[in-house]
Amino acid sequence: MYILEKERILQWVVRNKVDKVIIQAPNGLKQHVREIIDLLEENGVTVFISASHTWGGCDIVFDEAYKLGVKYVLHIGHHGPHRVTIPDNISILFIPAYFDRNPTPIFEKALEEIKDKKVNTISIATSVQHIKWLRELRKKALNYGFRVNIRKGVGGLEGLVIGCEYSAIDPEADEIFIVSGGYFHALGAALWSRKDVWKIDPYLSLYERVSYRKVVSRRLYNITNAMDAKKFLIIVSVKPGQYSMETALKAKRLIIENNRSADIAVFNDVTMEKIQNLGKYDAYLNTACPRLAVDDSSLFPSPVINPGELKYVLKRSLDDYDPRDSISFSL
Ligand code: SF4
């Protein structure tokens, strides 16, 4: 069950005299906002629900809020803004939607698998939904005799990772544990740390070792296939924390200097239909969320690379390839 911190929401409403609010949440959490709507309406607040997906703290509904004349945004499912400056005329409350199931029992099963191996230090990081359990996870690992490294991560929060930021991980640790549902954060962590990582899934009560080789080979496949491309489409998203026209223009210049061509297309959500409507391109350069290229490359009819990977494509060489370039926003 998700903890929606209704008390905190109410305090925010009263303190700010909130009259109208727009609620945004990732698709998987939208069904849980009903109880928040009821709470807000009981307190005289007019509520609008954003039907758009909410991919991360980079994706804030400023445009919808301005259009509706709403100053208050209730953002569910993420820790806070990422790569976004909140304008003075908008007030946002972030409700992370913590998940109440303790991941420690499943974490312990994974610890059992490594306890007799030559493991000294372990690194633990988590998506925001499970961050409240970090202290207990650390205690459990210490009881097993491991040294535990939990670093400051996104937004200065201990142990927090998001899809494009993994500084909470110690890449030198003998084993890395990511507490999160699905493969999204574990795959990113594998790319960032250049090693296999353990995924602890509190939703399915499963643990699994996620392969670095598998994810990196998919990136290398895309990069190598883009080397022969003559005609690129550069993807720009207008989502506030993903927007990077400067990178797109610079990339276009570099591509043209290398005797190839590039168009720039502007999206909000990047979908297969929109990409296909734009016609045929030999390769795509994605300046929006870097995870589109990593996790959703099937959206693109031909190879897709991220800005950090362009240099390998243009020099037609994978010498010095750094997997972190595969989740980088920078050229
Ligand atoms: S850019 Fe992508 S990975 Fe980064 S916060 Fe936004 S949605 Fe998440």
Q: What is the secondary structure of 125-182 as a DSSP string?
A: EE-GGGGGGHHHHHHHHHHTT-EEE--B-GGG-BTB-BTTB-TTS-TTSSEEEEE-SS
Q: Locate the ligand 1 atom nearest the alpha carbon of residue 78 and give its number.
A: 5
Pocket test for ligand 1, best of 127, 160, 164 (most atoms within 8 A of CB): 164
Residues with pLDDT less than 70, the chain: none
309 in the same domain as 222: yes
Dihedral over Cα of 31, 36, 39, 42: its sign: negative
What would the pLDDT profile of 117-175 be if each residue is shown by its tens digit?
Answer: 999 999 999 999 999 999 999 999 999 999 999 999 999 999 999 999 999 999 999 99
224 in the same domain as 322: yes
Residue nearest to atom 3 of ligand 1 (CA): 163
Domain termination residue (choose one: 163, 180, 210): 210
- In angstroms, what is the span from residue 76 Cα to ligand 1's centroid? 15
Specify the length of the chain in residues: 331
Q: Locate the ligand 1 atom nearest the alpha carbon of residue 59 and give its number.
A: 6
What would the pLDDT profile of 296-309 be if each residue is shown by its tens digit?
Answer: 999 999 999 999 99
79 in the same domain as 35: yes
Enumerate residues lining ligand 1, CB below 6 A: 55-58, 82, 162-164, 241-242, 289, 291
86 in the same domain as 12: yes
Residue nearest to atom 2 of ligand 1 (CA): 289
pLDDT recorded at residue 128: 98
pLDDT recorded at residue 238: 97
Question: Across the strands, what pairs with 177?
Answer: 124, 198
Q: Locate the ligand 1 atom nearest the alpha carbon of residue 55 and give its number.
A: 7
* First-last CA distance in the chain: 41
Report pTM: 0.95
Residue nearest to atom 5 of ligand 1 (CA): 56
Q: Which has the closest alpha carbon to 176: 137, 136, 129, 234?
A: 137
pLDDT recorded at residue 120: 96
Q: Which has the closest alpha carbon to 186: 224, 204, 220, 212?
A: 212
pLDDT recorded at residue 199: 98
CA distance 293 to 128: 23
- In angstroms, what is the span from residue 323 Cα to ligand 1's centroid? 17
- In angstroms, what is the span from residue 82 Cα to ligand 1's centroid? 8
pLDDT recorded at residue 268: 95
What would the pLDDT profile of 240-259 be if each residue is shown by its tens digit?
Answer: 999 999 999 999 999 999 99
For a pLDDT cut of 90, what percent of the chain falls above it? 100
Q: Locate the ligand 1 atom nearest the alpha carbon of residue 288 and give its number.
A: 1
92 in the same domain as 8: yes
pLDDT recorded at residue 269: 94
221 in the same domain as 205: no
70 in the same domain as 110: no
Domain termination residue (choose one: 42, 70, 97): 97
Domain termination residue (choose one: 64, 97, 130): 97
- In angstroms, what is the span from residue 83 Cα to ligand 1's centroid? 9
Domain count, the chain: 3
* C-beta of residue 74 within 8 angstroms of C-beta of residue 22: yes
Domain CATH code at residue 263:
3.40.50.11860
Q: Locate the ligand 1 atom nearest the alpha carbon of residue 242 and give its number.
A: 1
- In angstroms, what is the span from residue 288 Cα to ligand 1's centroid? 9
Pocket test for ligand 1, best of 291, 295, 296 (most atoms within 8 A of CB): 291
322 in the same domain as 228: yes
Domain CATH code at residue 182:
3.40.50.11850
Amino acid (1-letter code) at residue 126? T
Residue in the structure block whose two tokens are 């026209």: 245
- In angstroms, what is the span from residue 21 Cα to ligand 1's centroid? 24
122 in the same domain as 198: yes
CA distance 285 to 218: 16
- In angstroms, what is the span from residue 186 Cα to ligand 1's centroid? 14
Q: How many CA atoms lie within 13 A of 292 on its CB side?
A: 28
| Residues spanned by the domain of 311 | 217-327
The arrangement of strands across the sheet holding 283-286 comes to 261-267, 231-237, 283-286, 304-305
Residues 6+ apart with CB under 8 A from 92: 60, 72, 73, 74, 75, 81, 86
Query: Which tokens hold the place of 138?
Result: 């650390």
In the 8-state DSSP scheme, what is residue 89? T
Helix, strand, coil shares, percent, the chain, to 5: 40, 20, 40
222 in the same domain as 205: no
